[in-house]
Amino acid sequence: MMSDTPIIIDALQYNNWSESIFQQMHEGGVSAVHVTICYHEDFREMVENVIAWNRHFERHSDLIFQGRCAEDVRRAHEEHRTAIFFGFQNCSPIEDDIGLVEVCYQLGVRFMQLSYNNQSLLATGCYETCDPGITRMGKQVIREMNRVGLVVDMSHSAQRSTLEAIELSERPIAITHANPHVWHPALRNKSEDVLRELAESGGMLGVSMYPHHLKNGSACTLESFCIMLARTAEVMGVERIGFGSDLCQNQPDSVVEWMRNGTWTNERDYGEGSESAAGFPDQPEWFRDNRDFVNICAGLRQVGFTQNEVKRMAGLNWLEFFEHSFRKKQT
Amino acid sequence: MMSDTPIIIDALQYNNWSESIFQQMHEGGVSAVHVTICYHEDFREMVENVIAWNRHFERHSDLIFQGRCAEDVRRAHEEHRTAIFFGFQNCSPIEDDIGLVEVCYQLGVRFMQLSYNNQSLLATGCYETCDPGITRMGKQVIREMNRVGLVVDMSHSAQRSTLEAIELSERPIAITHANPHVWHPALRNKSEDVLRELAESGGMLGVSMYPHHLKNGSACTLESFCIMLARTAEVMGVERIGFGSDLCQNQPDSVVEWMRNGTWTNERDYGEGSESAAGFPDQPEWFRDNRDFVNICAGLRQVGFTQNEVKRMAGLNWLEFFEHSFRKKQT
């Protein structure tokens, strides 16, 4: 029997993982989280991150387990645990080797961004000045990701590359963590063109609670955030929206510096921050951690969403997307 | 409905894989083969071998698929295909990193030898002059292999290490491809002490059809081979015996040279061969390839085994062993 509490799915987190965070997921009734296991790592370095997660799964099996398919979300919900789905924010772990796409899938990876801020071997990042679109290798890799059941994620990619990925991918893609550019004009946020094409193709947007993606940053109000969702639902439809908090809990500022700079630059890049505000920004008071999805659900009711619409955005939309996305295509 | 033909399982092959060999498996009614995917490779090189197999699975899905559990053998038998189970003949792919044991399991690896002829980080090989037994890391790795469901294989290990592995392992181990030393005193063949301890612990012996393991080599008669099985069954019990052909079909002699020498020596090692007979030996005429298990089954009936006993040794014993060995231990 499935319990009557809503299924909550968060499509992006990158926390400094610990038992207390897993406990917060449990307290917040979060049934599934897509966690980032790579920003700049190569394949072998990524495998070490899988090993670190295997240890979490072993030590905290009362709270979490590795998710591989939609059914695992339902199981997590019934068992009051959290299914952890792996994803990459960059394509660095597949190096220049298309065969690694399936190997990563076999290790449980279910999302991969084709680029992270910069140009990659596959696509252009949102901070490049010119976006020539999906590369030759990118087209091959999208086809391979479609075949094995690894979701294309364009959260940090530039516009032309994103539109081309939506067009080229036979299976709907995701923007796991971003907000509409019209609400807050961060480079990472997405134009209405992108959101419309994404929705029409059956793709999903995970709305972000990361302060650099929010209107007025850390001071953003819950009401403003929820009205943004109402406007976005008018563009995309309620069915195409979910959560993608981009929660980076308990991370030291050295981590955001590494996320932005990896090993690619000798100068310091501040990404969405600035020299005077280089570290992680403070979370808005209505979303501090995994226990606060309940606040957002209440806020969404306040701005006029029905309980069923809230349930869809809180988890059922992502669950449906998982159902159609993660199975290997039958040849 | 399961068809009435016997299930045939071969617990070791290392062929130069091609469609025609997969077709021979099909014609021979072979439901499962444990294939070697590594001799000396490190982790990253091993992953390239997984990728090569993924391509075989994609291109020849009418004939083969990747096996991960005992149920896959039954499915292969019903669908007249062959389930391919991965294994390593050495522990080189886990390097010095115990976390890689579970990662290899996640990629589908189900057998790993703790050493191949030489001393390894885990155990001693059968060609070393002194065998100090299972190492400190070896004890940890056996425990980890037991936990995740990766079978300890001691086919190329020395006697003390083998006896200690049988003793230390909480789950029964395997000697996937070797014969009794008393029948043919090759260094690789096993003493009655080892065979008895292996059987008493619930482990399995896969009898080898590789000429260097056979009495009179390539000229070994089917009758001699089958009488050897009858004697071995008296020592171990019929239930503890299966096939482990060690078939190395269509391989150039450069491959056996690489198997023996890897990158560990500047002098040339001839392993079970010699300077004057350095290449692969010819197969005995009664076992040329996967279509010839039927000859062995007939030979076993000739020396007095019942049809049920033949069925056990041809596949059911390994199937039972797979059932108990490949599932992750519940904590």
* pLDDT reported for residue B84: 98
Q: How many other C-beta atoms can be found within 10 angstroms of the C-beta atom of residue B247?
A: 26
Choose among A51, A61, A99: nearest Cβ to B99. A51
Closest CA to A329 of A171, A111, A187, A165: A171
Task: For B76-108, write each residue's pLDDT tens digit.
Answer: 999 999 999 999 999 999 999 999 999 999 999
Is there a domain that residue A18 lies in?
yes
Under an 8 A CB cutoff, do B54 and A108 touch?
Answer: no
A123 CB near a chain B CB, below 8 Å? Answer: no
Under an 8 A CB cutoff, do A43 and B48 touch?
Answer: no
* pLDDT reported for residue A181: 98
Is there a domain that residue A271 lies in?
yes
Kindly give the confidence (pLDDT) of every residue in chain B, 331 residues in length, as a single tens digit, with 9 standing for 90 and above. Answer: 445 789 999 999 999 999 999 999 999 999 999 999 999 999 999 999 999 999 999 999 999 999 999 999 999 999 999 999 999 999 999 999 999 999 999 999 999 999 999 999 999 999 999 999 999 999 999 999 999 999 999 999 999 999 999 999 999 999 999 999 999 999 999 999 999 999 999 999 999 999 999 999 999 999 999 999 999 999 999 999 999 999 999 999 999 999 999 989 999 999 889 999 999 999 999 999 999 999 999 999 999 999 999 999 999 999 999 999 999 887 5
Choose among B51, B97, B102: nearest Cβ to A99. B51
B148 CB near a chain A CB, below 8 Å? Answer: no
B158 contacts B131 by C-beta, under 8 angstroms: yes
Choose among B43, B55, B107: nearest Cβ to A44. B43
Under an 8 A CB cutoff, do B44 and A48 touch?
Answer: no
d(CA A156, CA A192): 16
A88 SS3 class: strand
d(CA A261, CA A297): 35
Kindly give the confidence (pLDDT) of every residue in chain A, 331 residues in length, as a single tens digit, with 9 standing for 90 and above. Answer: 445 789 999 999 999 999 999 999 999 999 999 999 999 999 999 999 999 999 999 999 999 999 999 999 999 999 999 999 999 999 999 999 999 999 999 999 999 999 999 999 999 999 999 999 999 999 999 999 999 999 999 999 999 999 999 999 999 999 999 999 999 999 999 999 999 999 999 999 999 999 999 999 999 999 999 999 999 999 999 999 999 999 999 999 999 999 999 989 989 999 888 999 999 999 999 999 999 999 999 999 999 999 999 999 999 999 999 999 999 887 5
d(CA B70, CA B177): 19
d(CA B115, CA B92): 9
Is there a domain that residue B76 lies in?
yes
d(CA B55, CA B70): 23
pTM for this model (two decimals): 0.92
Under an 8 A CB cutoff, do A106 and B103 touch?
Answer: no
Number of A to B CB contacts under 8 A, please give it. Answer: 47
Neighboring chain B residues of A57 at a CB cutoff of 8 Å: none
* pLDDT reported for residue B331: 55
* Rg of chain A over all Cα atoms, to the nearest angstrom: 18
Nearest CA in chain A to B95: A44
d(CA A249, CA A247): 6
Nearest CA in chain B to A329: B58
Is there a domain that residue A247 lies in?
yes
d(CA B323, CA B21): 26
Is there a domain that residue B1 lies in?
no
Closest CA to B33 of B19, B48, B13: B13
Is there a domain that residue A166 lies in?
yes
Is there a domain that residue A330 lies in?
no
Residue B309 is part of a domain; what is its CATH number? 3.20.20.140
As given in the structure block, the two tokens for residue A296 are 């957002």
- Could you give the number of structural domains in chain A? 1
A58 CB near a chain B CB, below 8 Å? Answer: yes
Output the CA–CA distances (angstroms, integers) from residue B76 to B14, B58, B83, in the order listed. Answer: 20, 16, 6
Beta pairing, strands B241-243 & B174-175:
unpaired
Q: Is the ipTM of this complex over 0.90?
A: no
User: H/E element holding B36?
Assistant: strand B30-38
* pLDDT reported for residue A331: 55
Is there a domain that residue A331 lies in?
no
A130 CB near a chain B CB, below 8 Å? Answer: no
Would you tell me which residues 71-90 of chain B have a C-beta closer than 8 angstroms to some C-beta of chain A? none
Nearest CA in chain A to B59: A331
- Parent domain of B281: 8-325
Nearest CA in chain B to A42: B44
Under an 8 A CB cutoff, do B106 and A103 touch?
Answer: no
